Amino acid sequence: MSSEVERELSGAFDISSISTEAREWLEERIAEQVLERVKKLEEAMTESQKRARAEVESRLRAQILGEMEEEMASIRKREEASKAKCAALEKELEEKVRQADESEKRFNEERLAMLAERSALERERQEVLREKSALQQKEQLAIINKGGAVRPPIKFSFGK
């Protein structure tokens, strides 16, 4: 084996033992490899950041969608409860309106009955007043004997 191969295999490498051109070429190759590795690391880091960002965005999207679905379910539940309460209140209102209508109808019927009774009592009172007036007139005629057939005339004689 040659001495150069032995030197490479032994691991002891002295840069001063090579020529300037070889040293410059070696430094350029090392710089290229370092730049290439740095570039690969930067690409890997950028890719890793992109994946991490995409994963975070995906989790956030899923979380936001879950929260929105929960909120929508809550809104639907409240809406259904409101509709049920509204329907119950409408039914209660209809019942109260029906009761008010029935009460008004009963009131009107009772009022008409009272007015009919009052009218009958007024007719009866008028009839009683007419009868009383007729009786009074008859009594007055009987007292002054204008009717003729009621009683014989009263005769007074003075001085006999």
Please tell me the predicted confidence (pLDDT) of residue 81: 97
Looking at residue 11, its pLDDT comes to: 61
Of 26-35, 40-49, 125-134, 149-158, the least confident: 149-158
In contact, 151 and 145? CB cutoff 8 Å: yes
Q: What pLDDT is recorded for position 158? A: 79
Identify whether the C-beta of residue 91 lies closer than 8 Å to the C-beta of residue 98: no
Tell me the C-alpha distance between 15 and 10, whole Å. 14
Q: Hey, how many other C-beta atoms are within 10 angstroms of the C-beta on 9?
A: 9
Q: Which residue has the higher pLDDT, 75 or 15?
A: 75
CA distance 52 to 14: 45
CA–CA distances in Å: residue 70 to residues 57, 80, 82, 148, 155: 20, 15, 18, 111, 120
pTM to 2 decimal places: 0.43
pLDDT of residue 64: 97
pLDDT digits (tens, 9 = 90+) for 136-151: 988 887 777 665 555 6
